[in-house]
Amino acid sequence: MTRVVLHDAALADGTSDSLRTGISLAIEDGQISWIRPNDAADTTGAEVVDAGGATIVPAMVDCHSHLTMQGGSHWIARGDDPPGVLRQVARDNAKRLAQAGILWARDVGAPMHDGVPLSVGVREELKGKPGAPYIRVAGTWIGKTGYPAMWVTVDGPKLKEAAIAQLDLGTDLVKLYMDAPGGVKDSPFEVAHVRAAVQAVHARGARVAAHSGYLAGARVAAEAGVDSIEHGMELDDDICATMKRNGVTLVSTLSVFASWETFARTTTIDRFTAAEGRERIAKRKEGAYASIAAARRAGVVIATGSDFGGGSVRAGHLAWEVELLVDAGLEPHEALASATRNGGALYGVEHAGHLDEGQPADLVLVHGDPLSDPRALWRVWAVYQRGVRVA
């Protein structure tokens, strides 16, 4: 049995605002066997990795991703690419995630092929592969009647049946779309119908992720006790209090706006470049930042999502979200917790996003101090997955 000791590193796991320095961490049998000060570290017979100047952080969790899609300014059109192309995009994205230190991803929406969400096959193909992230998938989007054919579309009374049908296809969670079709800002479903779906999904041991862009849908989702509100671009104090009471996590996706802002310079697409479009984006962005502040005030758990693929962001850029959460008012250690332990709790694996002795060694070494500079999370030097160095 080989023991690897990461020697003389710093350590940050999102539980404290102070960086631990002079730390050694030992990996044996794929697990963290101990974390100790250097002078208490026994390196006899071990392979010693000089981790001087690096910070050990837990591998990150991207709670909102779309593995089969590639992002960019034509992200919606790319969802119509042939299934073989989408499967290859997923392989490439998975590789990119692991290289960036993101070892858990929730896929919250994938196109269907032959009646099965492509994400299910992606998960099966990547399962247990070193250098590929652990993946849980939601299947395809369930929205109110009126959305495109690539989705499952229903009216409220059929919502529960549609949710269970996704689980029957082999998904781990269910994605509800809590915006109404046609830009209408009313909630597409009523509380009783969403609650019935949530209870049925929970009875199967699965979870419900609810997309929400507007107040009314968010209010219904929070009252119905979904597991997470995704984006939450419009939340008020009332809704956040309900989220807190019902244990609803907010999955932030602020990098979507930052990405659109870059398109004002890098594309010729009107909705990004014209003054009117930019104003609209700025307004929605302001709402999303205010929602983060309201959630934090209310003590709502915040987890990070990049929305890569199903939004315009590219895979592996979750560090952007951590940076933006700090801009939105979180302390750097809180933002790190969002990208690690909070995401892990929502993902539903106990050690996900943690650094604990006796638990799998899924960890990342970055150059710099993420507690004073969240951009350090971009500077990934090494990634260990179950104790094996994969990047």
Return residues touching Zn ion (CB under 5 A): 307, 310
Query: Measured at CB, which residue is nearest to Zn ion?
Result: 310
- Rounded CA gap, 365 and 219, in Å? 40
Pull the structure tokens for residue 248: 């609803």
Task: State which residue, 31 or 68, has the beta carbon closest to Zn ion.
Answer: 68
Q: At its nearest, how many Å lie between Zn ion and the CB of residue 171?
A: 15
- Rounded CA gap, 334 and 340, in Å? 10
Q: At its nearest, how many Å lie between Zn ion and the CB of residue 233?
A: 12
Task: State which residue, 310 or 368, has the beta carbon closest to Zn ion.
Answer: 310
Residues 6+ apart with CB under 8 A from 331: 17
**Within a 10 A sphere around the Cβ of 17, how many other Cβ atoms?**
13
Task: State which residue, 313 or 326, has the beta carbon closest to Zn ion.
Answer: 313
Q: At its nearest, how many Å lie between Zn ion and the CB of residue 137?
A: 13
Task: State which residue, 225 or 311, has the beta carbon closest to Zn ion.
Answer: 311
Q: Amino acid identity, residue 262?
A: T
Task: State which residue, 309 or 332, has the beta carbon closest to Zn ion.
Answer: 309
Q: At its nearest, how many Å lie between Zn ion and the CB of residue 309?
A: 8
176 three-class SS: strand
Q: At its nearest, how many Å lie between Zn ion and the CB of residue 311?
A: 5
Q: Amino acid identity, residue 81?
A: D
Q: At its nearest, how many Å lie between Zn ion and the CB of residue 322?
A: 18
Least Cα distance to 6 among 385, 337, 384, 391 occurs for 384
Residue with tokens 């059929």: 158
Task: State which residue, 95 or 231, has the beta carbon closest to Zn ion.
Answer: 231
Residue with tokens 């029957």: 168
